[in-house]
């Protein structure tokens, strides 16, 4: 299968490239003009198609692609949420996806599979409420961005594509994402729950993320939004104690909510203190089986020493 992939140098993108390349797929990176950042070897060796997220211009070599995996977007947790950065978060998702879909629709034969990243931020902070794909959107900055982002991705269906929108939870990976930052205080012996510890965390391992993207490519019955999260969300206090146990460290020093808000501003409420108890009903109904459905085996596998 000839597959175009955006965001190929990111945490998820580089893992997807490595996996699908070994499966024999013909992968082509969508890259911004002038991109010269250091890339993992498996990524840098791929053929490239130039894509300009600002203008929407797409190299004609994109013709003939069977599928698109769209993972591009500025890091939610990589920067304090100034007004300028919030605009970047929105533009890198909503506006860029709008232009990409429009460019794909101008091809002589648009790709017939469009797999798009989204996020559980769609649901907002919902306390103990059990959330599935049939639950309505929440409120707040992240929820509104995600709703608009998904709306733009869904437009790919206008050219006949099967569109799958994967709402990723907190991705657990040794080499990036949130887990190394979460683990650091515990490694230093000063870890503990965040805020009240009662907020729910909907998580997923990077291995399952990659497997779910493959499942989305191969499963014709899967379309629309799908929650890419473990079937067993946990509350923050339980997550913290499990992480401490896996690292053989104490979990005794909670991070108070007021300190997090003082240090991180709006981002603290949206990312660290939000409660999202989400279940992957659609994936399970279609037969996907999680590699790591439970937290302790997942953290043990992810944090296992290399070599």
* Confidence check: pLDDT of 96 > 70: yes
By C-alpha distance, which of 1, 46, 41, 45 is closest to 24? 1
* Confidence check: pLDDT of 248 > 80: yes
**Which residue shows structure tokens 């949420």?**
81
| Rounded mean pLDDT, 292-299 | 98
What's the fold here for domain 2-169+204-229+278-290? Answer: Rossmann fold (3.40.50)
- Confidence at residue 46, expressed as pLDDT on a 0 to 100 scale: 83
**Which position has the higher pLDDT, 263 or 20?**
20
Which tens digit of pLDDT belongs to each residue from 268-286?
566 677 899 999 999 999 9
pTM of this structure: 0.92
CA distance 47 to 44: 8
* Confidence check: pLDDT of 11 > 70: yes
DSSP assignment string, the chain = -EEEEESTTSHHHHHHHHHHHHTT-EEEEEE-TT------HHHHTS-EEEB-TTT--B-GGGTT-SEEEE-----SSSS---HHHHHHHHIIIIIHHHHHHHHHHTSSS--SEEEEEEEGGGG---TT-EE-TTSPP--SHHHHHHHHHHHHHHGGGGGTPEEEEEEE-EEE-SSSBSHHHHHHHHHTT----BTTS-SEE-EEEHHHHHHHHHHHHH-TT--EEEEES-S--EEHHHHHHHHHHHHT------B-HHHHHHHHTHHIIIIIS---EE--HHHHHTT---S--SHHHHHHHHTPPP-
**Which position has the higher pLDDT, 257 or 195?**
195
| Rounded mean pLDDT, 229-246 | 95
At residue 10 the predicted structure's pLDDT band, cuts being 50, 70 and 90, is very high
Which tens digit of pLDDT belongs to each residue from 106-156?
999 999 999 999 999 999 999 999 999 999 999 999 999 999 999 999 999
At residue 42 the predicted structure's pLDDT band, cuts being 50, 70 and 90, is low
**Which residue shows structure tokens 């929650």?**
227
At residue 179 the predicted structure's pLDDT band, cuts being 50, 70 and 90, is confident
* Confidence check: pLDDT of 40 > 60: no
- Confidence at residue 217, expressed as pLDDT on a 0 to 100 scale: 97
Q: Write the burial class of residue 218 (CB in 10 Å: 0-12 exposed, 13-18 middle, 19+ buried).
A: exposed
| Rounded mean pLDDT, 226-246 | 96
Please state which of the ranges 52-66, 157-171, 193-207, 286-300 shows the lowest mean pLDDT.
52-66
Four-residue CA torsion sign, 245, 256, 76, 218: positive
> Average model confidence (pLDDT) for the chain?
89
């Amino acid at each position: 299968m000839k597959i175009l992939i955006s965001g190929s140098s990111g945490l998820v993108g580089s893992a997807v490239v490595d996996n699908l390349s070994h499966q024999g797929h013909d992968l082509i990176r969508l890259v911004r003009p002038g991109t010269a950042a250091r890339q993992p070897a498996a990524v840098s060796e791929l053929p490239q198609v130039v894509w300009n997220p600002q203008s929407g211009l797409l190299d004609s070599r994109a013709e003939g692609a069977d599928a698109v995996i769209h993972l591009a977007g500025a890091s939610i947790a990589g920067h304090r949420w100034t007004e300028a950065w919030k605009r970047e978060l929105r533009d890198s998702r909503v506006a860029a996806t709008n232009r990409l879909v429009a460019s794909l629709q101008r091809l002589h034969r648009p790709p017939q599979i469009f797999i798009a990243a989204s996020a559980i931020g769609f649901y907002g902070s919902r306390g103990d409420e059990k959330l599935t794909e049939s639950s309505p959107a929440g409120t707040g900055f992240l929820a509104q961005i995600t709703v608009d982002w998904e709306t733009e991705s869904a437009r790919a269906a206008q050219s006949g594509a099967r569109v799958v929108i994967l709402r990723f939870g907190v991705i657990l990976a040794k080499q990036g994402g949130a887990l190394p930052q979460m683990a650091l205080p515990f490694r230093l012996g000063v870890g503990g729950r965040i805020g009240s510890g009662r907020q729910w965390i909907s998580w997923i391992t990077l291995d399952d993320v990659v497997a779910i993207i493959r499942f989305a490519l191969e499963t014709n019955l899967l379309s629309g939004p799908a929650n890419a999260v473990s079937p067993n969300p946990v509350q923050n206090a339980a997550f913290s104690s499990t992480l401490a146990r896996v690292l053989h460290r104490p979990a005794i020093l909670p991070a108070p909510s007021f300190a997090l808000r003082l240090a991180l501003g709006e981002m603290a409420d949206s990312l660290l203190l939000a409660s999202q108890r989400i279940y992957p009903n659609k994936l399970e109904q279609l037969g996907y089986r999680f590699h790591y459905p439970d937290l302790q085996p997942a953290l043990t596998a992810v944090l296992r020493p290399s070599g």
